Amino acid sequence: MLSALIKKLLFVRQFSIDEGKVEILGERHVMLPDSALLELQEIDPTKFYELMKSSALKQLQDFVDHARVYKNLKDVLFGDIGKLSRKLGTGEGIVKNLQDIFSIYGLEALEIPSLDNAKKEAVVRVRDSTIARAYLNKNKARSRKPTCVITAAVLAAMFSFLFGKNVDAAEDKCMSQNSTYCEFTVR
Ligand SMILES: [Zn+2]
């Protein structure tokens, strides 16, 4: 089943796969297999993290700009994303929005067991990480360190946007090691 966000984007023609082009909000995307992404991030994890974080942050800002420009988009879609950073206290709606946005990356579903807007900290879990699974498929053995660099980068971008402050996401537990889920501390 399509994610709620993708359905809404399709409805307002802001998501398309046509004539060799994948476009989300007017920006072209390239779909890559998880195994290729795993290799790419391993070339230079630190650099990859920084690149992906700034790219995801820009995309989030584009979402908000689009919502301002296109009224139809605003109505069905980003009703309150633009106000998220000022309205964090409202709880469930925010978490749902975060989960929707995260879902379009294909990095699996997000859980947020703890979110503290005053301290600008959060704990985030991913149950069946795409990247950790790719690692286990490739290596047939557990990893010695967490492997989900791209996931951490996207989370860092999302929460930096939300908190209105530059934060990072550190992966403390990873499914590629010995954990049943991946867990990230954002601060
Ligand atoms: Zn992981």
Q: Which domains does the chain have, with CATH numbers?
A: 32-186 (3.30.1380.20)
101 Cβ contact list (under 8 Å, min separation 6): 5, 60, 63, 81, 158
Distance 80 CA to ligand 1 centre (A): 30
Terminal CA-CA length for the chain: 33
Give residue-wise pLDDT tens across range 89-100: 445 566 777 787
Task: Report the 10 Å Cβ neighbour count for 60.
Answer: 19
Which is more confidently placed, 187 or 5? 187
Residue matched to tokens 């859980």: 111
Task: Give CA–CA dist 187/184, Å, rounded.
Answer: 10
Distance 127 CA to ligand 1 centre (A): 9
Of the pLDDT bands very low, low, confident and very high (cuts 50, 70, 90), residue 72 is low
| Long-range pairs, 57-65, Cβ under 8 A, ≥24 | 57/157, 57/160, 57/161, 59/27, 59/157, 60/101, 60/157, 60/158, 60/161, 61/161, 62/25, 62/27, 63/25, 63/101
Percent of the chain with pLDDT over 70: 84
Residues surrounding ion ligand 1 at CB below 5 Å: 129, 132, 148, 174, 182
Of the pLDDT bands very low, low, confident and very high (cuts 50, 70, 90), residue 186 is very high
What's the DSSP call for residue 167?
-
| The pLDDT value given to residue 97 | 74
Residue 68 has pLDDT above 70, yes or no: no
**Mean pLDDT, the chain, as a whole number?**
85
Distance 128 CA to ligand 1 centre (A): 9
Distance 160 CA to ligand 1 centre (A): 20
| The pLDDT value given to residue 47 | 97
Of the pLDDT bands very low, low, confident and very high (cuts 50, 70, 90), residue 119 is very high
Residue 149: is it exposed, middle or buried by C-beta count within 10 angstroms (0-12/13-18/19+)?
Answer: buried
Distance 103 CA to ligand 1 centre (A): 16
DSSP per residue, 95-139: HHHHHHHHHTTTS--EEEEEEETTTTEEEEEESS-HHHHHHHHHH
Q: Give residue 150's identity as a one-letter amino acid code.
A: I
> Which of the residue ranges 40-44, 150-154, 158-162, 172-176 would you say has the lowest mean pLDDT?
158-162
Task: Report the 10 Å Cβ neighbour count for 21.
Answer: 10
| The pLDDT value given to residue 181 | 97
Task: Give CA–CA dist 118/161, Å, rounded.
Answer: 15
Which is more confidently placed, 34 or 164? 34
| The pLDDT value given to residue 86 | 45
